[in-house]
Structure 1
Amino acid sequence: MTEPIRAIYFNGTLTPSPGESHTDLLIEASAGILRQQGVEVEVVRAVDHALAPGVQPDMREHGASEDAWPELWQRVLAADIIVLATPIWLGDASSVTRRVIERLYSESGELNDQGQSIFYGKVAGCLVGGNEDGMKHVAREVLYALQHIGCTIPPQADAGWVGEAGPGPSYGDELDDGSRAGADNDFTKRNITIMAWNLLHLARMLRGGIPTEGNDRNAWKRGERFGFQNPEYR
């Protein structure tokens, strides 16, 4: 029997549970589509976990008194899809989201059985919310980091809602007419839907992994150069 596709969403809200999180509402709009297709979805509110700062897999080995990352990393390993969801503060992703990125980066030296980055075969995307400008800027930084460590980014892998520039309602806030801010925004609904389906399509396609030709770091270490030619002046 084929294993189900698994997705893990990291909510980068600054609000600990059980406090309300507008980012959670964006996550559920996306995750609901995946669940309908049989995807096993886990949502992690990162601020609820003692994530030590640093870029080592276990910061307890580098002076931290506690570090929840090693346990969370096992859940990332089990996932086919990784989504970072963040609010915008001062035009950037939240500090919590940055810490998750740093801890993901701490694992980038790990290789799979084929000598590739441990993130090969995982697809990634991001969700961005808030009530100030910067959605595309944040998505660019988040998606760059995720592809740099080895994740595969499908087309149109970001979505979000920021409303009007300046202080105002966040996604899901109740408005004076009883409606919810952003809930009926066609642009947001369309992008969330496209993103969710593209994540799923690519995760299914990559179930067999990525070919190793040209990206096997163990082979490179042994001297294989996969066609690379040094300039003649060397």
Structure 2
Amino acid sequence: MALTERQQELCTTHPYDFSDLSALFLNCTLKPTGVTSNTEALIEVSRAIMDANGVKTQILRPVDYQLPPGVYPDMTEHGFQRDDWPELCEQVMQAHILIIGTPIWLGEESSVCRRVIERLYGESGRLNAKGQYIYYGKTAGTLITGNEDGVKHCAMTVLYALQHLGYTIPPQADAGWIGEAGPGPSYADEGSGGPENEFTQRNTTFMSWNLMHMARLLTDSGGMPAHGNQRDRWEAGCRFDHPNPDYR
């Protein structure tokens, strides 16, 4: 359906500039690059919105990397022969926006998704130049696909983990699609109804814009204010108005 002149004006005459921002989509499918991913088909909707607004975007599949289990920045220092996480982590750290996409398996996010979250956690002890945790000043969201129940549950666990690590989560920072309960078509399958689903497409659009707006606000303000949340100053004895400074 073609947009009316007024609708097109609303879409194209906004005053926002996102051209200095970057977004990284981590597609935590179990399928390597070259194999069709239903999660990536939904990711492409969000990516198209960001691309149209000048955001530099990239999609990577963590399954393509050798990522040992663990919660340290480099697991070769803990007995593993190879660890590609430092390479992938560099891409994560450069992005203003992180979107984790995952399929649902047995009601949960994929094993690849959990491993990515564990490896993100391995970096959480690092501090930025302000003495805050390293992910402060970045924003994140999640996209979920499947043909079984669990969209909101998976979004809940992924977004909880990301905010706990220090990411800022804007309003309605998740979207997803599931088919009918039981075996059936996946999002990208012909006749699935996913690409036409109003609820999914609306939520994916709102999520994309909210992520861009939050990244814009954080970037323009120099990140999160650095008072009351600096671990190095807490460890140095500053208690930031904590009511009992002599509790130790």
TM more than 0.5: yes
Partners of 1:40 and 1:231 lie apart in 2 by 45
Partners of 2:51 and 2:224 lie apart in 1 by 25
Q: In the TM superposition, what whole-angstrom CA distance separates every residue of 1:130-179 from its partner, at most 9, and x where no partner exists?
A: 0000100000000000000000000000001012111111101012xxxx
Q: Give the secondary-structure state (helix, strand or coil) at the position aligned to 1:87.
A: strand
Partners of 2:150 and 2:58 lie apart in 1 by 27
Question: What is the CA-CA distance between 1:230 and the residue it aligns to?
Answer: 2.3
Partners of 2:127 and 2:238 lie apart in 1 by 17
Q: In the TM superposition, what whole-angstrom CA distance separates every residue of 1:4-62 from its partner, at most 9, and x where no partner exists?
A: 10111110111112111001101101111001110011111110111111100000111
1:39 aligns with 2:55: yes
TM-score (norm 2): 0.89
Match of 2:175 among 134, 138, 159: 159
Equivalences for 1:18-29 in 2 at 5 Å? 18-29=34-45
- Aligned residue identity for 1:229: P
Match of 2:109 among 88, 93, 97: 93
Q: Give the secondary-structure state (helix, strand or coil) at the position aligned to 1:73.
A: helix
- Aligned residue identity for 1:39: V
Partner of 1:115: 131
Size of the aligned set, in residue pairs, is: 229
1:71 aligns with 2:91: no
Match of 2:197 among 185, 197, 219: 185
Contact 1:88 1:132 in 2 (8 A): yes
Partner of 2:237: 223
Contact 2:103 2:109 in 1 (8 A): yes
Partners of 2:148 and 2:225 lie apart in 1 by 42
Partners of 1:45 and 1:231 lie apart in 2 by 46
Partner of 2:151: 135
Question: What is the CA-CA distance between 1:232 and the residue it aligns to?
Answer: 9.5
Partner of 1:210: 224
Partners of 1:130 and 1:155 lie apart in 2 by 23
TM-score (norm 1): 0.95
Partner of 1:173: 189
Partners of 2:27 and 2:226 lie apart in 1 by 33
Q: Percent identity?
A: 58
- Aligned residue identity for 1:133: D
Q: Quote the RMSD (CA, aligned, Å).
A: 1.5
- Aligned residue identity for 1:71: E
Partners of 2:150 and 2:88 lie apart in 1 by 28
